[in-house]
Amino acid sequence: MQRKSNFRDVFYVSDGTAITSETLGHAILAQFPIETRQMTLPFVESVDRALNVQKQINRIYEETGVKPLVFYSVVLPEVKAIIEDCSANLYDVLNALVEPLKHDLDMEPMPQLQRSHSISKDAASYQDRIAAIEYTLAHDDGVSLNNLEQADIILLGVSRCGKTPTSLYLAMQFGIRAVNYPFIAEDMTSLKLPQAIEPFRYKTYGLTIDTGRLVAIRNGRYANSDYASLQQCESELNKVESMFRREAIPYLNTTSLSVEEISTRLLDMSGLKRRMC
């Protein structure tokens, strides 16, 4: 198999969801000038499955002559032994920090299978999270402006500036009850904060976006429509941003930010606590 010299196969292997290995692996690999093909193998919980993973990894080494990079987080000792016996460059994502922590805490670790947000582990926080998702779904896209006193945050902005994905991420990841309300073309003649939102203006935040980006996104949805025209997008953005400034609503330009970044920035701006652990 012909390969570029900076090309590497990467595996994320875990006896859990592999989310920790993936998150850390992505962050580390982003620092190296390599191209990768990545494969995630969660729930490697049996010797059989571990042997299959080993075979898969070893085959790549045999075919390419280049050791794959394996980021792994495995608690089960019999599985771990098999993974550590692969023909690969091996990175134990937890162990690298468990060792110094063991020393600093002067305690032995008690390795256990990870249970993120598990129902059995913490029913109350699980319920909070589900309730936040429900509340956020019920208040998506201006569908309802009832029960705003229960909202943690209210997002405002033109259509397609990132309100819905951000609201859902806030609910899902942080247990935040998010309302989002779109200003549409019909609102533009005399733009103001909706009356139902007025009493809760202290928890409103604006999202905005660059005109060119908005035109591209809207064209992806309704090509060549008035809705997607440069003129319409520019006019809506100008009016909404000037309203944000007039009403002293803090706002954020989402153009070059990921949903994770927008969400974390909003938490930061609002002082809201992350509910999940």
218 sits near a copy of itself (criterion: CB under 8 A): no
Considering only residues 1, 2, 4, 110, which one is a binding residue for a copy of itself as defined by CB under 8 A?
A: 110
* Residues 110, 102: Cα–Cα separation, whole Å: 10
194 sits near a copy of itself (criterion: CB under 8 A): no
46 sits near a copy of itself (criterion: CB under 8 A): no
268 sits near a copy of itself (criterion: CB under 8 A): yes
CB of 79 to a copy of itself, least distance (A): 15
Contacts of 125 (CB under 8 A, 6+ apart): 117, 175, 275, 276, 277
Closest of 37, 33, 39, 40 to residue 9, by C-alpha: 37
Considering only residues 7, 40, 235, 241, which one is a binding residue for a copy of itself as defined by CB under 8 A?
A: 40
159 sits near a copy of itself (criterion: CB under 8 A): no
Considering only residues 9, 15, 54, 73, which one is a binding residue for a copy of itself as defined by CB under 8 A?
A: 73
CB of 238 to a copy of itself, least distance (A): 21
CB of 147 to a copy of itself, least distance (A): 15
168 sits near a copy of itself (criterion: CB under 8 A): yes
97 sits near a copy of itself (criterion: CB under 8 A): yes
What are the binding residues for ADP?
157-164
